[in-house]
Amino acid sequence: MKNNRLILAFSILGGLVLLFIIAPLLGMFLSTSGVEIIETIKDTEVTNSIWLTIWTSMLGTIIFALGCIPLAYVISRKEFILKRLIVGIINLPIVIPHSAAGIALLSVLSRNTIAGRFAEGFGFGFVGTSAGIMLAMAFVSIPYLLTAAIDGFNTVPVKLEKAAMNLGASPIRTFFSITLPLAWRPILSGLIMMWARGMSEFGAVIIIAYHPMTTPVMIFERFNSFGLQYARPVAVLFIVICLIFFIALRLFSKNKIDARN
Amino acid sequence: MLEIKNISKSYPNFCLKDISFIVEKGDYFVLLGGSGTGKSILLEIIAGNTKATDGKIILNNKDISSEKIQKRNIAFVYQDQALFPHLTVFDNIAFSLRQKKINSSEIKKLVLKLSCTVDVENLLSRKPGTLSGGEAQRVALARALATSPECLLLDEPLSNVDTQLRFELRGLLRKINRQGQTIIHVTHDYEEAISLANKIAVIEHGSVVQTGTPEDIFLYPKSEFIANFIGIKNFYKGKLLPSENDSGLKTFKTSGVLIFVATEESKDDGFLLIPAENVVISNSFSENSSRNIFKGKINDIFPAKIGIEVVVDIGVKITSIVSKESAEKLALEKGKEIWISFKALSVKYIAA
């Protein structure tokens, strides 16, 4: 009986937290009419901004995954000096204010820096460009992928890798045929989290590139210039599209990428 | 031929010390020792999973001590099989074949052949998580054999299976060995060692304390550790003769002496173990329920840890352990003629 009371008390407390998350979102959905949504869909400025947000974050996730996944593997498998420091550095973007992260990025990517001049040599730049947005999104969202990938590799027993090598497989074949498929589910989860977190980034992105305008920047701009009524339909549309992608990918990762039986 | 030369390996709380032995082609070599004696680490060193601090591993006259794991051509069957959980049984067995640039129909043929050898041809589409311990062990064996290894390493391969399966798997391991496969097998179970090995090395505290044939090890243990670890005083090699009726009682012939034994085994070559505490001594012949009654002469008599050990010559030497009081009451002494008896059910036959 006492146990039941405890569970009841905990459920009420938990329910309040859930309500805190759901209520504002629900309120926003309920106070936005279908007409407003349809008009927003027709607004090419909005739709272009949503696609820009989706693809810059996705491209950043894919490009940085090429470095993050190998790094996660090394961290998971090897013991080396300063390993804990490196793990700490990986998580830095989570703890520093994102506007500060934007300033930090700007100081290495602006036109008068080595990276900026190097990019200009190839005919592009970072400040006020899609490339800059992609880097700002990646900077703040990399920890989500790295942490998930390290956890994923940690769950794969080293013995299975040794067994593959006993059977004549090279380390590279072992990685691609044994380790990666077995760690894939948490890694995919990390990729989805990195992509989702990148899309929602505002602080770092607005400092690197006000234009082209990502959706979080556009929501801020419309709210600032025209008020809540104009910002809300954009926010609702963006949330719906993100949720569709997010749920689809989650379902995909749950049903198709279950490597373990 | 695999030659292990002065292998040493140091850990903070444990070390392997100066281990040397030779495994000839076609040998069934058993490393026998209690838990924590370092036998599994030794296998890992031979396979290349762990590097030795010192010493050499010579395979067919080539030093492979620094050779990469994947180049050694030594297959390893782990205690928990280490099957790849995301691959089917077929893909597990085919894993090593796929990197040899063999075409897929050839791979299919080889996998089918191997799966028939280990009797898993019905399981090829299953995932390892759905297999029983015995099935998984068979698949692990087939996967290892697919590499056509110079040497097959088995780490406690029969420890996770029930008694019936253990007998079946022993038969399978014997069959694989008779096809010419060199095997090094690690176990803590002396029965397993007797049953399978043609050579045994006993490991104690990270050192090999004795190497030899099963008879050498069990009849002439070189140290008290081996004697205690094995705990066998009466160990005989011989033949199991077919039963004359269906009673299950068979006779075992060793050095001309016939001993009754209750066993369901039907193999002819094997070993007989008679626990010394089950051998009863009397001064005169007395009819009792024992099927084995022999007249013999006391060859030796000496105090043991518990009681007195009496070695009696009945054509073969047989040891009995009696209490000090019984020895005094029966006035046992060297050279005295006495009768010994033991039940056919108290005797253990192990097929070789």
The DSSP bridge partners found for residue B185 are B30, B154
Q: What is the mean pLDDT of residues B34-39?
A: 86
Domain ranges of chain B: 2-231, 235-351
The 10 Å Cβ neighbour count of residue B33 is 27
A106: Cβ contacts below 8 Å, ≥ 6 apart: A127, A207, A208
> For B132-166, how does the pLDDT look when each residue is reduced to its tens digit (9 = 90+)?
989 999 999 999 999 999 999 999 999 878 878 88
Looking at chain B from residue 116 to 145, which residues have their Cβ under 8 Å from any Cβ of chain A?
127-130, 143-144
End-to-end C-alpha distance for chain B, whole angstroms: 23
Mutate which of B70, B79, B89, B102 to test chain A, going by most A C-beta atoms within 10 A? B70
- Give the alpha-carbon dihedral of A12, A18, A23, A28, to 10 degrees: -170
- Looking at CA atoms only, how far is residue B121 from chain A in angstroms? 19
Angle between helices A83-90 and A130-154 (to 10 degrees): 130
In whole angstroms, give the CA distance from residue B335 to residue B332. Answer: 9
Name every residue whose Cβ is closer than 8 Å to that of residue A202 and which is 6 or more positions away in sequence. A98, A216, A217, A220
Interchain proximity A168–B47, CB inside 8 Å: no
Average pLDDT over residues A6-35: 93
Kindly report which listed range (A104-113, A244-253, B296-305) carries the lowest average pLDDT score.
A244-253
Over pLDDT 70: what percentage of chain B?
96
How many beta-carbon pairs under 8 angstroms link A with B? 68
Q: How many CB atoms are located within 10 Å of the residue B53 CB?
A: 12
Look up residue B86 and give its two tokens. 């995301």
B76, B99, B127: residue with CB nearest A163: B76
Single-letter code of the amino acid located at B105: S
State the pLDDT at residue A260.
Answer: 45
A261 neighbourhood in chain B, CB within 8 Å = 85-86, 127-130
Comparing CB atoms, the residue among A160, A166, A168 nearest residue B84 is A160
Amino acid at A155: T
Q: B175-206 pLDDT, tens per residue? A: 999 999 999 999 988 888 888 999 999 998 88
Q: What does the block give as tokens for A31?
A: 């106070």
Angle at B320 between CA B319 and CA B326, to 5 degrees: 150
Residue A140 has pLDDT above 90, yes or no: yes
Contact B298, B311 (CB under 8 A): yes
**CATH code, residues B235-351:** 2.40.50.100
Q: What is the DSSP string of B200-214?
A: EEEEETTEEEEEE-H
Residue A259 has pLDDT above 50, yes or no: no
Q: C-alpha dihedral over B300, B302, B308, B312, to 10 degrees? A: -10
pLDDT bucket at A110, cuts 50 / 70 / 90: confident
Q: A175 to chain B: which residues are within 8 Å by CB? A: none
The residues spanned by each domain of chain A are: 1-30, 43-255
Whole-prediction pTM value?
0.81
Residues forming a β-bridge with B153:
B76, B184
DSSP B344: G
* Superfamily of domain B2-231 in the CATH hierarchy: P-loop containing nucleotide triphosphate hydrolases (3.40.50.300)
Which residues have C-beta within 8 Å of that of residue B6, sequence separation ≥ 6? B18, B19, B20, B54, B55, B56
pLDDT of residue B191: 82
Per residue in A62-100, pLDDT tens?
999 999 999 999 999 999 988 999 989 988 998 899 999
* Burial class for B260, CB neighbours closer than 10 Å (0-12, 13-18, 19+): middle
Cross-strand pairs, B4 = B21, B57
**What is the predicted pLDDT for the residue at A258?**
44
User: What CATH number belongs to A43-255?
Assistant: 1.10.3720.10
